Chain A
């Protein structure tokens, strides 16, 4: 039995070994590369379903490797980064990475990121979405229900929520959210985002201060997560 193929790119052997064991145990097939050069070749020859790319490779700037692979590789790329390097993470997400993990990361987190990246964007050809049994979005009626009761959202709040729902499980940067919902002229107006996130949480979260849907990714952005949805 072989699951989706994952290419691990990391110069540290310990990390490669750890990731390999973890992923194989979870039924993924695994290839590994330790340099940028090897990564580009392996990506071409094996065409993996997902690439786990350490952004700090010794032989080439990680951002450059990412751009190079992104020129033709359309499937998900997950970045591995070190702590307090948010600028690099945001840059990588701009350069086409789908998500990121900060070392040291927990195994559960790693698997969740990989699964939601492979699943990809949820198409909105569906009529509606129900998350965790208590939050429903009806795309035809542009209506949102929390515990089966209609929640009144402004047009902006609705757009923001739909963008989150379509990208369930994936991090969306502040800049991306501002550009998509408010427009390219608003990418630096983070105060709008802060206020609308607070407002949206009040309306859709059971405990707005301990959100279960819209999670804060410090300094990077927000991530909408649902334990289950259909």
Chain B
């Protein structure tokens, strides 16, 4: 090498190498690299090659300066990285704090409302039983019932969210029939869907999919519940399922208002709720959808339909089975 370029140029090349190492490694390996490279340079390149002896004063000075520059380089780089790390931590802390505040606001409202209803209604029933008409009593009991189901749903959402946050979710894949899953979810939501027409369009002769039944049904459940609670009276919901190559595709669309275009990006964020949304809901449902979909390496997209309404599309990569029923088992 020293035949092609002067040995002083070699020093610069070595210096660049040490700087590059400093960008990726800790202080100790960088110091080792600085010392080693200085010695390598001395031994192989400075005249009196293959000895550590340095004959000219100029070369000696060069050697010392090389050493100092390499060290300063290493130390500065480490400092910069430390500062960067601190800044990141600070930002993370701020984010956590922000999340925590949103959580508190959302929770205190979404949990306190049903709790207040239950406390108020039971108080009435206990202390004014003789003054209440049968109809009033019935109405109070219905309110208690509604409020407790709402509480149950919110707690379920929070549990799912904390499972996602803690990274506890590990899909347990098993074969299932997507027809069965979709109708199972519709059945779970039959009270919420009482007055809403739901069209189901599942492609015929779909294979079985090997995915986590619980996660997939929670995804469909949340999307369906979200549509059911946010669409206007005249709207309808359509559920589609299909198989595209080795992916299960589930589509939930409605003929409601659709989403404000500038908020579409945000709806999957934790605790995000549309600016003009009616009360009810913690803004967790859709972020759970996103989290569950991603835990299965899938994608979820939201778009507005050309005329009106929203369309959610889920794609999940899956193992498929076209089990032939004619095989005698």
Q: Can you name 15 A-B pairs with beta carbons within 8 Å? A: A84-B214, A104-B148, A104-B152, A190-B175, A191-B175, A192-B323, A194-B177, A198-B177, A198-B179, A209-B179, A210-B183, A216-B184, A218-B213, A218-B217, A219-B214
Residues on B with C-beta less than 8 A from A84 are 159, 214
Q: What 1/0 flags go to A84-105 for Cβ under 8 Å of B?
A: 1010000000000000000010
Interface residue? B156 (CB, 8 A):
yes
User: Roughly how many angstroms separate A220 CA and B108 CA in the complex, as a whole number?
Assistant: 35
Is A195 in contact with B183, judged by CB distance below 8 angstroms? no
Residues on B with C-beta less than 8 A from A83 are 156, 159
Is B176 in contact with A194, judged by CB distance below 8 angstroms? yes
Interface residue? B140 (CB, 8 A):
no
Interface residue? B200 (CB, 8 A):
yes
Instruction: Using A104-B152, A182-B329, A198-B180 as known contacts, say yes or no to A209 and B175 having CB atoms under 8 A apart.
Output: no
Residues on B with C-beta less than 8 A from A86 are 214
Q: Tell me the minimal C-beta distance from A221 to chain B in angstroms.
A: 12
Residues on B with C-beta less than 8 A from A216 are 180, 184
New A-B pairs, 12, CB < 8 Å, besides A190-B175, A210-B183: A84-B159, A104-B152, A182-B329, A190-B174, A191-B321, A192-B323, A192-B329, A194-B177, A194-B208, A197-B180, A199-B325, A209-B183
Q: What 1/0 flags go to A126-152 for Cβ under 8 Å of B?
A: 000000000000000000000000000
Q: Tell me the minimal C-beta distance from A32 to chain B in angstroms.
A: 23
Q: How large is the interface on B (under 10, 10 to 19, 20 to 34, 35 or more residues)?
A: 20 to 34
A interface residues (Cβ-Cβ under 8 A, vs B): 83-84, 86, 104, 156, 182, 186, 190-192, 194-195, 197-199, 209-210, 216, 218-219
Nearest A residue to B213 by beta-carbon distance? A219
A contacts with B: majority SS: helix
Residues on B with C-beta less than 8 A from A199 are 325
Nearest A residue to B185 by beta-carbon distance? A218
Q: What 1/0 flags go to B13-26 for Cβ under 8 Å of A?
A: 00000000000000
B contacts with A: majority SS: helix
Q: Tell me the minimal C-beta distance from A36 to chain B in angstroms.
A: 25
B interface residues (Cβ-Cβ under 8 A, vs A): 148, 152, 156, 159, 174-177, 179-180, 183-184, 187, 200, 208, 213-214, 217, 321, 323, 325, 329
Q: Which listed residue, A156, A182, A195, A209, touches B208 by the CB 8 Å rule?
A: A195
Q: Tell me the minimal C-beta distance from A212 to chain B in angstroms.
A: 11
Name, among A186, A210, A216, the residue most crowded by chain B CB atoms within 10 Å (CB to CB): A216
Q: Which listed residue, B152, B159, B214, B321, touches A218 by the CB 8 Å rule?
A: B214
